[in-house]
Amino acid sequence: MTAHAQETSAASQAVAHLRFVRMAPRKLRRVADAIRGKNVREALVLLKFADVYAAAPIERLVRSAVANAGTNHNMNTDELYIVCITVDGGPGGRMTKRLDPRAQGRAYFKRKRLSHVTVVVGEQPPKRTRRARPGAAVSSSAHPHRTPSRARKRAAAAAAGAGA
């Protein structure tokens, strides 16, 4: 690959980094796998309405990458794709130490994991197609205002009693 080709490929992509996220990489990877390779517009809608706690920092990071693409690289922000998204483990255990009391006066360390997330957006869709991964589904809840089953049964019985 020539130097000119490397410059054009680097110029057609924008990067954003999020470091030292106070969340385990495994939780963030579930969300990252769900949006990898998608159009940025679709990914932002999916992240906004996802009922997953890990979706909020990734949504902010994708918005930052889109802003970098528009400001620094003069890209059309409406036609961007998530080319690459990686979630790496940060320093686990050195930064935040918590003790868990155990029996007979002992104490165990809790590992509060940190993560580093990198998002690359570009105008061209990724060359490789996304591979379906188990556990990569991030969706909003089907019934956000669902009542508990006991209350539902009471409401159905009251409706049946009122109609008779």
pTM: 0.73
Other beta carbons less than 10 A from residue 49's beta carbon: 13
Domains of the chain in start order, with CATH, are 10-142 (3.90.470.10)
CA distance 151 to 23: 35
Average pLDDT over residues 73-93: 90
Cα pseudo-dihedral 132, 134, 119, 117, rounded to 10:
-160
Q: What is the pLDDT of residue 8?
A: 47
pLDDT in tens, 27-79: 999 999 999 999 999 999 999 999 999 999 999 999 999 999 999 999 999 99
Give the per-residue pLDDT at 98: 84
